[in-house]
């Protein structure tokens, strides 16, 4: 038992981070220097309902409650202390998407997540109209596409927000959002630290075209910077987290953030020319810019750090889903032969065997596209495995092909930034796939043509980053976020770095060429299956 942790429980020295990821809701409790005291989990999955990827709102709350209950029980078991209080709470979630409500706070249409590729018309139109890349995932693209489709609910929209913004609103009663998450809803002006006012005016003219008496400023959540107070936990909202209502009301909440922002914090990559890669169901690379790109690229999102600095984001919709699918197949086989193997051990063994693959995998191609990809111009996902009859179809070669595929589209997108003259000297990775040491970083380093650094907290992910942002509320008056991170969080951080060889970089580049040439197979499958 850690007596120091027991002493800080239920005090202002602790903070709670909640992150609603694509496949897992995670809660992390941290101590004074961001040490992880305990974690809780709840696994969930999006649903394809009427061709829309969505989550039910009741599942949001039951998932949060289950994840928190898991953490609460872990603390009770380890420290014999019942959790009642934290110094602060922060909520993070998948960025983008569309949660629209009427004036009675009723959800107008099922939650449309970032995963939907249903706003192509608005993506193209708004990118040109606003002179800013507006990907299909963005909240404003979903609203505008609903306008184009003449959906009846649009006239009743009183407020729309992201998943993290929704949860924080329900907990505090306040309609606000962190600037990083807001930057995935509508373009941000990094000087004024709020929505770009000229672009808001331009979009308001769109409302008038559809005879809608609306002002975008009234529909969007207000924007907060890291360290500002989003509100306090309402008494009537305590049960949304803790149905037993042991938790006290009045706890401070940090501004809601997206998974991109919490990833930047979790990897200490919020200053100019720093970067990170977050790998999960989706994978994205974030490079903090010191100047604007020369032009608008439809493959590159421009978002912000939690403090409002501009970031070039290469976002890929598909990463670990296909890896998970194959692992599940082998799990079924292990059960079939009555061989008990833990989930962690199964992942570890299958990923590690990828490192013993043949050097030449040209005879095996895998496409893990469970949904469409903007970068490679694939509208609908169709997971595929294609191989030559004489290919060495071994387990190690299969797993290496799937692992290589998971980062191929990211590599393609990053080449755009390299062509802009942006050099990536080193990048920090985080996400559960890096938990198996010495595997994913080998592929990622070759894919991004850069050393990849991993911290010992790499698999804690965004929930830990959100807990840090919550804890920063107590330091914001005295120091900047980067000063806090360097002084309190990462001062003695343990890291490991993998530097790819020229041979590994060149081999992966050759693989990507074949991968791109084979995309015609993926595109054709969209029309057949």
**What are the backbone dihedrals phi and psi of residue 409, each rounded to the nearest 5 degrees, phi first?**
-65, -35
pLDDT of residue 340: 87
pLDDT of residue 460: 67
Nearest to 259 by CA among 434, 67, 108, 462: 462
Percentage above 70 pLDDT, the chain: 98
pLDDT of residue 495: 86
- Cβ–Cβ under 8 Å, residues 313 and 188: no
Indicate the DSSP class of residue 508: H
Helices then strands, each counted (H, E), the chain? 18, 24
Mean pLDDT across the stretch 404-427? 90
CATH superfamily of 321-456+495-526: ATPase, nucleotide binding domain (3.30.420.40)
- Cβ–Cβ under 8 Å, residues 375 and 413: yes
Mean pLDDT across the stretch 2-18? 89
Asked whether residue 2 carries a pLDDT value surpassing 60, the answer given is no
Mean of per-residue pLDDT scores for the chain: 93
pLDDT of residue 1: 43
Mean pLDDT across the stretch 298-312? 93
Q: What's the 3-state SS for 479-499?
A: CCHHHHHHHHHCCCCCEEEEC
Residue 89: its H or E element: strand 88-93
Asked whether residue 3 carries a pLDDT value surpassing 60, the answer given is no
Mean pLDDT across the stretch 372-387? 90
Asked whether residue 527 carries a pLDDT value surpassing 80, the answer given is no
Alpha carbon distance 220, 149 (integer Å): 21
Mean pLDDT across the stretch 8-36? 95
Model pTM score = 0.84
Mean pLDDT across the stretch 149-157? 97
Asked whether residue 384 carries a pLDDT value surpassing 50, the answer given is yes
Asked whether residue 489 carries a pLDDT value surpassing 80, the answer given is yes
Say which residues have a Cβ less than 8 Å from residue 243's Cβ, sequence separation at least 6: 65
Nearest to 10 by CA among 243, 244, 248, 238: 248
364-367 and 310-316 strand pairing: unpaired
pLDDT in tens, 193-251: 999 999 999 999 999 999 999 999 999 999 999 999 999 999 999 999 999 999 999 99
Alpha carbon distance 372, 115 (integer Å): 8
231-232 and 252-253 strand pairing: antiparallel
Alpha carbon distance 245, 80 (integer Å): 18
pLDDT in tens, 452-482: 998 876 666 789 999 999 999 999 999 999 9
């Amino acid at each position: 038992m850690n007596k120091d942790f027991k002493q800080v429980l239920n005090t202002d020295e602790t903070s709670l981070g909640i992150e609603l990821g694509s496949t897992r809701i995670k809660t992390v409790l941290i101590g004074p220097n961001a040490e992880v005291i305990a974690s809780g989990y709840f696994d969930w999955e999006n649903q394809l309902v009427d061709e829309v990827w969505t989550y039910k709102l009741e599942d949001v709350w039951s998932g949060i409650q289950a994840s928190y209950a898991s953490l609460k029980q872990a603390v009770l078991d380890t420290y014999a202390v019942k959790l009642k209080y934290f110094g602060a709470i922060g909520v993070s979630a998948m960025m983008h998407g569309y949660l629209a409500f009427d004036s009675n706070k009723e959800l107008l249409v099922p939650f449309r997540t970032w995963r939907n590729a249903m706003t192509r018309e608005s993506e193209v139109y708004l990118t040109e109209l606003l002179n800013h890349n507006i990907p299909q995932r963005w909240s404003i693209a979903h609203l505008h596409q609903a306008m184009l489709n003449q959906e009846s609910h649009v006239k009743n929209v009183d407020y729309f927000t992201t998943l993290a913004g929704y949860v924080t609103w329900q907990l505090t009663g306040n309609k606000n959002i962190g600037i990083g998450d807001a930057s995935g809803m509508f373009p941000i002006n990094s000087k004024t630290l709020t929505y770009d006012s000229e672009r808001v005016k331009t979009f308001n003219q769109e409302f008038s075209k559809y005879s809608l008496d609306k002002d975008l400023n009234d529909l969007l959540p207000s924007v907060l910077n890291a360290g500002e107070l989003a509100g306090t936990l309402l008494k009537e909202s305590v049960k949304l987290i803790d149905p037993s209502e042991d938790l006290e009301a009045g706890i401070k909440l940090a501004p809601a953030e997206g998974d991109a922002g919490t990833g930047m914090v979790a990897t200490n990559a919020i200053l100019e020319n720093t970067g990170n890669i977050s790998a999960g169901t989706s994978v994205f690379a974030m490079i903090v810019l010191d100047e604007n790109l020369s032009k608008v690229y439809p493959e590159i999102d421009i978002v912000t750090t939690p403090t409002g600095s501009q970031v070039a984001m290469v976002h890929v919709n598909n990463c670990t889903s296909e890896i998970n699918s194959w692992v599940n197949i082998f799990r079924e086989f292990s059960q079939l032969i009555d061989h008990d193997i833990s989930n962690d051990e199964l992942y570890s063994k299958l990923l590690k065997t990828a490192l013993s693959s043949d050097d030449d995998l040209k005879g095996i191609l895998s496409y893990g596209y469970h949904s469409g990809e903007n970068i490679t111009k694939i509208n609908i996902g169709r997971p595929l495995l294609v191989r030559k009859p004489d290919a060495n179809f071994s387990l190690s070669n299969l797993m290496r092909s799937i692992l290589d595929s998971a980062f191929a589209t990211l590599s393609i997108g990053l080449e755009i930034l390299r062509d802009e003259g942006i050099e990536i000297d080193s990048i920090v990775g985080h996400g559960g796939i890096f938990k198996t040491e010495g595997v994913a970083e080998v592929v990622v380093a070759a894919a991004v043509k850069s050393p990849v650094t991993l911290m010992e907290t790499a698999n804690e992910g965004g929930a830990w980053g959100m807990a840090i942002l919550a804890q920063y509320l107590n330091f914001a008056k005295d120091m900047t976020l980067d000063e806090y991170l360097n002084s309190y969080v990462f001062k003695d951080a343990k890291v490991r770095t993998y530097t790819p060889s020229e041979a590994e970089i060149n081999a992966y580049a050759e693989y990507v060429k074949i991968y791109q040439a084979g995309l015609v197979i993926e595109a054709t499958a969209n029309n057949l299956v």
